[in-house]
Amino acid sequence: MIIGVGSDLTNMDRIANSLERWGERFERRCFTEIERAKAARRPYTRVGTFAKRWAAKEAFVKAVGTGFKRGVYQIDIGVVNARSGAPTLALTNGAAARLAEIVPDGHEPIIHLTLTDDHPWAQAFVVIEARPL
């Protein structure tokens, strides 16, 4: 069963401005080490890489219905790749706790994530599924 859906459209110029203004402080506050490493390996698409991940974080908090409050922070939501290469989310702290709150007993959460970009836009969709154990 679907227990959450979220989407976000992020302007890459906004992310570029934040990176320029705040630099590493912005990166460390909002992105995991895995995300920062991936962006560092992509010098020509660094801003787009961060923008897609920002959109994924925004889409997730919409899917769980909290926004960035109730102990859910950007740094607790990380885009990672499954073995297949498909993007998904790794959650810690408040983000993981919020997901656990909305998953019915006897079910496991499955997070589906899709990312895309076309300058100046980055977009993400999150669907959270609860599968019976």
- CATH code at 73? 3.90.470.20
Dist CA 26 CA 44 (whole Å): 19
Split into its structural domains, the chain has a count of 1
Tell me the per-residue pLDDT of 65-118, one tens digit each, with 9 for 90 and over.
998 888 999 999 999 999 999 999 999 999 999 999 999 999 999 999 999 999
Range of the domain at 128: 2-132
The predicted structure's pLDDT at residue 96:
97
Of 21, 24, 22, the residue nearest 33 (C-alpha): 24
Query: For a pLDDT cut of 70, what percent of the chain falls above it?
Result: 100
The pLDDT mean for the chain works out to 96
Tell me the per-residue pLDDT of 6-21, one tens digit each, with 9 for 90 and over.
999 999 999 999 999 9
Torsion of the alpha carbons at 29, 52, 60 and 10, rounded to the nearest 10: 90
Q: Are 65 and 102 in contact (CB under 8 A)?
A: yes
The predicted structure's pLDDT at residue 67:
87
Q: Taking CA 36 as the corner, what is the angle to CA 126 and CA 114, rounded to the nearest 5 degrees?
A: 20
The single residue listed with the structure tokens 């990380």 is 78
